[in-house]
Amino acid sequence: MKLLILLVIVVGIIAVAQLAKIYQLSARLRGHREEEISEADTRLQGSLWIVFMFVLFGTTIWQFVRYGDYLPPSASLHGEAVDTLMGYNLALVIFVFFVVNALIFGFSYKYRYNKNRKAHFFPHDTRLEVIWTVIPSIVLAVIIIYGLQTWSEMTGQASDDSLRVELYSKQFDWTARYAGDNDEFGSTNFNLITPLNPLGIVTQEGIDQALLKIEDKIAKLNGELSVEKGHLLAEKVELERSLHPSDDHGHSDHDDAHHEMSEGYKNNLETRLSAIDDLLDSGTSKVMTDAAYEAKEDKIYRLKRHRQRILELKNYEVGEALDAWEIGKDDRIVKSEFHLPIGREIEFVFRSRDVLHSAFMPHFRAQMNTVPGLPTRFKIETTITTDSMRTILDNPDFNYILLCNKVCGSAHFNMQMTIVVETQEKYDAWLSEQKVYMAEKN
Amino acid sequence: MGNINHKESFVSKYIFTYDHKMISKQFLITAIVMGILGVSMSILFRLQLGWPGESFAILETFLGKWAPGGVLDRNAYLALVTIHGTIMVFFVLTAGLSGTFSNLLIPLQIGARDMASGFLNMLSYWFFVISCVVMVFSLFVEGGAASGGWTIYPPLSALPQAMPGSGMGMTLWLLSMTLFVVSSLLGSLNYIVTIINLRTKGLSMTRLPLTIWAFFVTAILGVLSFPVLVSAIVLLLMDRMMGTAFYLSDIFIGGEALDATGGSPILYQHLFWFLGHPEVYIVLLPALGISSEVIATNSRKPIFGYKAMVGSIIAIGFLSFIVWAHHMFVTGMNPFLGSVFVFTTLLIAIPSAVKAFNYITTLWRGNIRLTPAMLFSIGLVSTFVTGGLTGIILADSALDVTVHDTYFVVGHFHIVMGLSAIFGMFAGVYHWFSKMFGRMMNTKMGYVHFWFTIVCGYGVFFPMHFVGLAGAPRRYYDSTSFDFLDSVADLQPIISTFAIVGALAQLVFLFNFFYSIFRGQPATQNPWKSNTLEWTTPVEHIHGNWPGALPEVHRWAYDYSNPAHDEDFVLQTTPLKDGEVGH
């Protein structure tokens, strides 16, 4: 490896030396000044513009032929409108790209320097300037109006009978949630997230579980703090001082106080002292840095705050004597693959646990960021089942996909979920097999 | 005033100098160093993207634990992407471009002895240097440099537990950017004050070269928008260090429910893009100004529609402040608000179109000298148009949904902002090199450099549009696990190959640049037969720019091939002839 680096350095030095030689040579050979562009150079550089133009246009056309069908046909209703809009816009953009670039490169060739000619003095022309202010304005007005029409259609309110699916993001996976038989999502709270309740659905059981978890953590931390060697030793010294003050101080002022100590209290202190001695002898005591000790104390403080936030949650009634904390019990939670029925409007509700993510479903022309603390929405209407798309593409392995499109950490590029679009019957059958949130635990 | 040249120590001449010409060179060379760094980073991650998972032994040699087994680590990949973006946008194309050419050209083209405040100018440069040092240093701290993308959206950037790069590296990123903003503000204020107050006799605003107009509007954009970035950064720092919750709410991470409630990550995006979008034009306008000057000079024609060009610069500058939320169509903001931003964004296309057509008309029936600077300027017009056109698709919210955050966006902004701005910078360097160093650069090498750069530039970024249309997200470490992207998978190695060749071609420029500083052909006073005032100063730099009295201006900057004169250029200092109508 070192040899290779050496080689690179040597080659580099040779290259620089050669460049210097060329540099000197080209200056001397031409025998005239750098700023004077020779006729040969003018001809060559002018022609290169034309060559470049053909190469650029040629490869552009080639890319359109080869990669122009960039995605399969849209699998959502609004996506068809988006694709049409994209088609018109791309056509316009490509047209202007060809025309304007041809003018730039063509003029650079055609009007290349000729010492016998003087340029045409043409400082301004109001008519021309008005033309190329007005024409782009009109074209843009059309683009804006057409674009905003599509935009307002695709972002309008979802209808009441649309199917709502929640997509929940965290580093680095997705979870989908479907409402249960009551057709409503249970409310959620990030304070209630536990391994068994990954979405933080609010139920009495969920609350109990989260509280239990916090108590466990606090107890464990307190346990760790209680066997810290430095603190134990300090306490031991303190206890011994209380029990035998004269040993330490050497003067007898405190003796009276010592005698006044009740037997019960003294026993307590002695019990504690021997407990400390046992801990120190048994080797369960651990040494901790001050910083680590404080961090643990801090953590306990935060856990207590966390517990407090949970205790402040209040239940409320949601019509017909239904508890808010009951609704979520039958929610269905799905990982790694979720299904959608064909031909239905689906309103996605997006939530995030930790950082920004973005739910990107390229085949449905759909994308929406997921924001912690702020649920976002996007509606689509499915039009092509997974099976039909496989037939269309002649690819039995094809799958619709949900991916993360907002950088969210080291495994960002691998945060995906498969989407299956199928008939209502199949979808119903699939859904009934999915895990019901509370049933899972009971 | 006379010649106020006097003996200076090495330190006061080359390091803590007040002289705008020296400061401009300092900015340029610092930016070149940062540029080398930024481009090298892009090559590193392009290796991974072109040949995912392939082992390059050389990577491990150079990067050590960042590339175990010769494969770039996924966290290192994100860090490289982030720092590449930051360096190129801020350090190269903002400070490098404005810092170099505003400093060089403002006093020279308006007939001033120096900037209004030489001291602020020096401070501006040194804040920039410190900011660069901090940014480079952040690469080496524990957890690595900031890795959440150059836009550093919270909560990812606010929570150290969210990813390794959100620890010390992110704090340093924020510190570095704060210093950068200080530098930028000091510079911009100085440019504005100088242009308003120090124009020489006869040089009215309507006679200013378009370069100065561009630098002027750029500086105003900077002064108005960079403070907003600082506010965003301060709030983010407080969220990180003091337990506030400006950007945080309802977060459960690392097995813990955070205390923060009520903040909004979207607020950060509004603040960031309030700078972020004008920033695009802070990068682009100076390049457009430079190319206006280069194209007029080398077409031997007045720039077409001077007033429309000035109007367009101002219109673009104004509009750039009311389009920021087009970066946020898919954040869940009210769709009606989205519509408003679609409208304002597409409005920008109008002044942009006017500029493009005016450039083309300037070329029309010109007598075009194809110097390297001119080639780069023509290339700029092409990339400005090409990249601007795909912007029309991204500005349309309904279409943005399908291509947002994909390679389509990467292709778009690298062409319209990356290539255009860097072409403008190269054009400026080739054109004003003699003004900076008193020598000429080698033309032949300039040609080689240009053709490799434009071919590779288009070769890298044009295919990205197709990759994006196929739905490939940007900032993916590896997309090979997605079957639906197979159709465009073969484009990735092509893109990477062009990137490597294009980067190597820059070595020709580097050689030409540094060799010419010492060995270039000694320059004459006005090599390009240009009209503007900088060409009336002596080749040798003197403090105060003009040995005698300041020049007096009698006409606009674009009297090229004026039929009333025999020569095809007329210096701005030439008095009007009898009966000649001035501008």
Q: What are A138-183's pLDDT values in tens digits?
A: 999 999 999 999 999 999 899 988 999 999 999 999 999 999 888 8
Q: Give the span between the Cα atoms of B20 and B105, in whole angstroms.
A: 9
Per-residue confidence (pLDDT) for residue A249, from 0 to 100: 52
Instruction: Identify all chain B residues contacting A348, using CB atoms and an 8 Å cutoff.
Output: none
Contact predicate B35/B27, CB 8 Å: no
Domain assignment present for residue A282? The answer is: yes
Instruction: Identify all chain B residues contacting A27, using CB atoms and an 8 Å cutoff.
Output: 442, 521
- What residue of A is the nearest CA neighbor of B521? A34
| pTM of the entire predicted model | 0.93
Interchain pair A97, B385: CB under 8 A: yes
B78 to each of A24, A212, A354, B51, B147, how far by Cα in Å? 43, 38, 19, 16, 5
DSSP letters spanning B210-257 = HHHHHHHHHHHHHHHHHHHHHHHHHHHHHHHHS---SS--S-EETTEE
Looking at the structure of chain A, the number of domains it has is 4
Residues 6+ apart with CB under 8 A from B416: B284, B383, B384, B386, B387, B388, B390, B391
Instruction: Identify all chain B residues contacting A136, using CB atoms and an 8 Å cutoff.
Output: 349-350, 353-354
Per-residue confidence (pLDDT) for residue A246, from 0 to 100: 64
CATH number of the domain at A117, please.
1.10.287
DSSP letters spanning B155-204 = TTTT-TTT-GGGSHHHHHHHHHHHHHHHHHHHHHHHHHHHHHH-PPTT--
- What residue of B is the nearest CA neighbor of A125? B305
Instruction: Identify all chain A residues contacting B78, using CB atoms and an 8 Å cutoff.
Output: 407, 410, 412
The token pair that represents B139 in the structure block: 């690469």
Residues 429-468 of B with CB under 8 A from A: 440-445, 447, 451, 454-455, 458, 462-463, 466
Count of Cβ atoms closer than 10 Å to residue A36 Cβ = 12
Per-residue confidence (pLDDT) for residue B30, from 0 to 100: 97
Q: Choose among A100, A112, A135: nearest CA to B361.
A: A100
- What residue of A is the nearest CA neighbor of B165? A409
User: Does the beta carbon of B264 lie under 8 angstroms from any beta carbon of chain A?
Assistant: yes
- Is A327 or A75 the better-scoring residue by pLDDT? A75
Interchain pair A122, B58: CB under 8 A: no
In this structure, which long-range contacts are made by residues B59-66, counting pairs with CB atoms below 8 Å and at least 24 apart in sequence? Answer: B61/A1, B61/A5, B66/B144
Q: Give the span between the Cα atoms of A49 and A62, in whole angstroms.
A: 20
Would you place residue A28 in the very low, low, confident or very high pLDDT band (cuts 50, 70, 90)? low
Q: Give the span between the Cα atoms of B236 and B228, in whole angstroms.
A: 12
Interchain pair B443, A37: CB under 8 A: yes
- Looking at every residue in chain A, the average pLDDT score rounds to 89
Interchain pair B382, A410: CB under 8 A: no
Interchain pair A147, B563: CB under 8 A: no
Interchain pair B250, A41: CB under 8 A: no
Question: Is the confidence at residue A306, as pLDDT, over 80?
Answer: yes
Q: Choose among B527, B539, B394: nearest CA to B468.
A: B394
Domain assignment present for residue A442? The answer is: no
Interchain pair B356, A100: CB under 8 A: yes
Q: Are residues A227 and A248 in the same domain?
A: yes
Per-residue confidence (pLDDT) for residue A280, from 0 to 100: 85
DSSP 3-state assignment of B472? coil
Q: Are residues A261 and A215 in the same domain?
A: yes
Per-residue confidence (pLDDT) for residue B63, from 0 to 100: 84
Domain assignment present for residue A86? The answer is: yes
Q: Give the span between the Cα atoms of B488 and B485, in whole angstroms.
A: 6
Among A19, A82, A367, beta carbon nearest to B511: A19
Interchain pair A136, B349: CB under 8 A: yes
Q: Are residues A25 and A60 in the same domain?
A: no
Q: Choose among B512, B480, B556: nearest CA to A20.
A: B512
Q: How many residues does chain B have?
A: 583
Interchain pair A408, B263: CB under 8 A: no
Domain assignment present for residue A205? The answer is: no
User: Does the beta carbon of A5 lie under 8 angstroms from any beta carbon of chain B?
Assistant: yes
Per-residue confidence (pLDDT) for residue A15, from 0 to 100: 81
- What residue of A is the nearest CA neighbor of B308? A129
Q: Are residues A102 and A145 in the same domain?
A: yes
Q: Are residues A358 and A278 in the same domain?
A: no
Question: Is the confidence at residue A326, as pLDDT, over 80?
Answer: yes
Q: Which domains does chain B have, with CATH numbers?
A: 21-249+259-536 (1.20.210.10)
User: Does the beta carbon of B389 lie under 8 angstroms from any beta carbon of chain A?
Assistant: yes
Instruction: Identify all chain A residues contacting B163, using CB atoms and an 8 Å cutoff.
Output: 409-410
Instruction: Identify all chain A residues contacting B477, using CB atoms and an 8 Å cutoff.
Output: 412-413
Q: Are residues A361 and A376 in the same domain?
A: yes
Q: Are residues A254 and A275 in the same domain?
A: yes
Contact predicate B368/B414, CB 8 Å: no
Per-residue confidence (pLDDT) for residue A442, from 0 to 100: 43
Per-residue confidence (pLDDT) for residue A14, from 0 to 100: 83
Q: Are residues A67 and A125 in the same domain?
A: yes
Residue given tokens 């969920």 in the structure block = A206
- What residue of B is the nearest CA neighbor of A146? B396
Among B251, B256, B402, beta carbon nearest to A372: B251
List the single best residue of B270, B291, B299, B392 to mutate versus A (max A Cβ within 10 A): B392
Residues 155-214 of A with CB under 8 A from B: 155, 171, 190-191, 193, 200
Interchain pair A360, B445: CB under 8 A: no
Which residue range is the domain that position A168 belongs to? 163-179+331-433
Domain assignment present for residue A215? The answer is: yes
Per-residue confidence (pLDDT) for residue B3, from 0 to 100: 43
User: Does the beta carbon of A101 lie under 8 angstroms from any beta carbon of chain B?
Assistant: yes
Q: How far off is chain A from B350, nearest CA to CA, in Å?
A: 6
Among A63, A119, A413, beta carbon nearest to B301: A119
Q: How far off is chain B from A400, nearest CA to CA, in Å?
A: 9
Q: Give the span between the Cα atoms of A243 and A229, in whole angstroms.
A: 21
User: Does the beta carbon of A133 lie under 8 angstroms from any beta carbon of chain B?
Assistant: yes
User: Does the beta carbon of A127 lie under 8 angstroms from any beta carbon of chain B?
Assistant: no
Share of chain A above pLDDT 90, in %: 63
User: Which secondary-structure segment (H or E) carries A269?
Assistant: helix A263-282
Between chain A and chain B, the number of residue pairs with CB atoms below 8 A apart is 392
User: Does the beta carbon of B223 lie under 8 angstroms from any beta carbon of chain A?
Assistant: no
Q: Are residues A46 and A131 in the same domain?
A: yes
Residues 506-525 of B with CB under 8 A from A: 507-508, 511-512, 515, 519-521, 524
Per-residue confidence (pLDDT) for residue B1, from 0 to 100: 38
DSSP 3-state assignment of B439? strand
Q: Are residues A145 and A64 in the same domain?
A: yes
Interchain pair B405, A416: CB under 8 A: no
Domain assignment present for residue A23? The answer is: yes
The answer to which of A257-266, A307-316, B221-230 has the lowest mean pLDDT is A257-266
Q: Would you call A289 exposed, middle or buried from its count of C-beta atoms within 10 A (0-12, 13-18, 19+)?
A: exposed
- Rounded to two decimals, the ipTM of the complex is 0.94
User: Does the beta carbon of A307 lie under 8 angstroms from any beta carbon of chain B?
Assistant: no
Q: Are strands A163-170 and A357-361 parallel, antiparallel or unpaired?
A: unpaired
- What residue of B is the nearest CA neighbor of A123? B304
Domain assignment present for residue A319? The answer is: no
Which of the listed residues A279, A311, A343 is the one where a domain comes to its end?
A311
Per-residue confidence (pLDDT) for residue B331, from 0 to 100: 94
10-residue mean pLDDT series, chain B (583 residues):
57 86 96 96 94 87 86 93 96 95 96 94 96 96 91 94 92 96 96 96 94 97 95 95 94 92 94 94 96 96 95 96 95 93 94 95 95 97 96 95 96 96 97 95 95 97 96 93 91 96 95 94 94 94 91 94 91 89 78
Q: Are residues A257 and A338 in the same domain?
A: no
B492 to each of A66, A166, B460, B485, how far by Cα in Å? 14, 34, 9, 11
Interchain pair A111, B365: CB under 8 A: yes
User: Does the beta carbon of B488 lie under 8 angstroms from any beta carbon of chain A?
Assistant: yes
CATH number of the domain at A364, please.
2.60.40.420
Q: Are residues A58 and A133 in the same domain?
A: yes
- Is B374 or A3 the better-scoring residue by pLDDT? B374
Instruction: Identify all chain B residues contacting A35, using CB atoms and an 8 Å cutoff.
Output: 371, 440, 443, 524, 527-528
Share of chain A above pLDDT 70, in %: 93
User: Does the beta carbon of B18 lie under 8 angstroms from any beta carbon of chain A?
Assistant: no
Interchain pair A123, B444: CB under 8 A: no
Q: Give the span between the Cα atoms of B35 and B46, in whole angstroms.
A: 16
Per-residue confidence (pLDDT) for residue B441, from 0 to 100: 95
Question: Is the confidence at residue A256, as pLDDT, over 70?
Answer: no
Interchain pair A136, B353: CB under 8 A: yes
Domain assignment present for residue A439? The answer is: no
Residue given tokens 């000649």 in the structure block = B580
